[in-house]
Amino acid sequence: MRVLMVSDVYFPRINGVSTSIETFRAALADEGVDVSLIAPDYGDGGVSAGVTRVPSRPVPGDPEDRLARYGALRRACLAAARDCDLVHVQTPFAAHYAGLGAARKLGKPVLATYHTLFEEYLHHYVPWLPAALPRAIARHFSRRQCNDLDAVIVPSTAMRERLRAYGVRRPLHVLPTGLPERAFASADGAAFRAGLGIAADTPLALFVGRVAHEKNIGFLLDVVARARRAHPDLVFLITGEGPARADLERQAQLLGLGGQARFLGYLDRRDQLPAAYAAADVFIFASRTETQGLVLLEAMAQGCPVVALSAMGTRDILEPRRGCRVAADDPAEFADTLGELLDNPAARRQLGDDAAVYAREWSDRALARRLAGLYRDLAA
């Protein structure tokens, strides 16, 4: 079976959509599904097997992203879709319209994955508008786009509920991104600590993700500042990049965190990031708008216990209460939960062991098998 994926984003741009595409492309090969991908050219000269790059230009005010030239994207989709059984759209911008148009013109099934809860994101980027307006716009476009498709994949039950509330009538399939086998490979957390000059007995909390306001990292900085009253040597590592970094660095200074809140930027996903998870005593996460929260599972795969808010997509991961502590949506109470784990090494070890076992249930192979089945049902 041959599938065409089309996306407005892919590596070298690092985010959850790129990770999901890469994970499923690799795992679907074992299910007899040959996936080709069309994505923007980032001007880095990179070449990947099975990936067609189309000309693009920078997104104004966002140096990390690229906007594919629509004419080139549309032509590439139409040419590639002729030899495919269906089209899988990964993002709702130019890729949606180019992929949908090619599928409809050629009479091929088309589905999309709804990765991002845009109604909770847009107001951070257009703060001069009343918050209700960008939310209403996001709901309208999401409803319209989803209802133009043959099926929609959502990464969590919370996202399915939200899209149903928007008025989406097309079939909605809950199918999260799984973890590739390399996520479980033992990583050298001790060497990672040593490289940053962090002693083996220094309490270490970690956040991984886009450094953007919607990730609620400011909340975590407040949590860490409170937790340091009982654990003054606590270090907090923030990995990733994004538009909120400068604001968050200023907040860290105002909270008196100084060098104990360290912004590390992007880490290599294959080596450095697993080592960061293995090095941490606790992974902390407070986003209220995640559609899945794959980083929680990545941390668990390295035996790192999680303390997080259970909101939106993270509920599916956290609610079984395995390998984690669910914290209250209050900085003081969250800090107390974090502090209790830091005070109890035995509890941390037990949670970490449970986390590693639990993460295995989210393997990419099992989830790719379900996606391949959906593809075949749609193409039948």
Q: Where are the alpha helices (DSSP H) in 178-228?
A: 189-195, 217-227
The pLDDT of residue 78 is: 98
Q: What is the mean pLDDT of the chain?
A: 94
Helix segments in 255-363, DSSP class H: 272-279, 294-301, 314-318, 331-342, 345-359
Q: CA-CA distance, 304 to 225, in Å (whole number)?
A: 21
Region 46-70 average pLDDT:
89
Is residue 282 within 8 A of residue 341, CB to CB? The reply is: yes
pLDDT band at 132 (very low <50, low <70, confident <90, very high): confident
* Cα angle, residue 135 at apex, residues 130 and 140 outer, rounded to 5°: 130
Is the predicted pLDDT of residue 12 greater than 80, yes or no? yes
Query: What integer is the mean pLDDT of 32-61?
Result: 91
Q: What is the pLDDT of residue 154?
A: 97
Whether the CB-CB separation of 245 and 320 falls below 8 Å is answered with no
| C-beta of residue 307 within 8 angstroms of C-beta of residue 338 | yes
Q: What is the pTM of this model?
A: 0.84
DSSP class of 93: S
Nearest to 182, CA basis, from 280, 267, 275: 275
3-state class (DSSP) for residue 324: strand
Q: What is the pLDDT of residue 117?
A: 81
Q: How far is CA 158 from the centre of its chain?
A: 15
Find the range with the poorest average confidence among 39-48, 171-180, 310-319, 358-367: 39-48
With a pLDDT cut of 90, the percent of the chain lying above it is 86
Residue 127 pLDDT grade (very low, low, confident, very high; cuts 50, 70, 90):
low
More confident residue, 43 or 7: 7
pLDDT at 122 over 90: no
What was the pLDDT predicted at 134? 75
pLDDT for res 22: 95
Q: Does the pLDDT value for residue 48 go beyond 90?
A: no
Measured CA to CA, the distance from residue 33 to residue 88 in angstroms comes to 13
∠ CA 215-174-87, nearest 5°, is: 95
d(CA 17, CA 21): 6
The mean pLDDT of 108-127, rounded to a whole number, is 78
In terms of Cα–Cα distance, which of 252, 242, 250 is closest to 212?
242
Domains along the chain? 2-178+363-379 (3.40.50.2000), 181-361 (3.40.50.2000)
Q: Residue 126's pLDDT band (boundaries 50, 70, 90)?
A: low
Cβ proximity of 93 and 103 under 8 Å: no
Give yes or no for residue 120 having a pLDDT over 70.
Answer: no
- pLDDT tens-place string over residues 72-91: 999 999 999 999 999 999 99
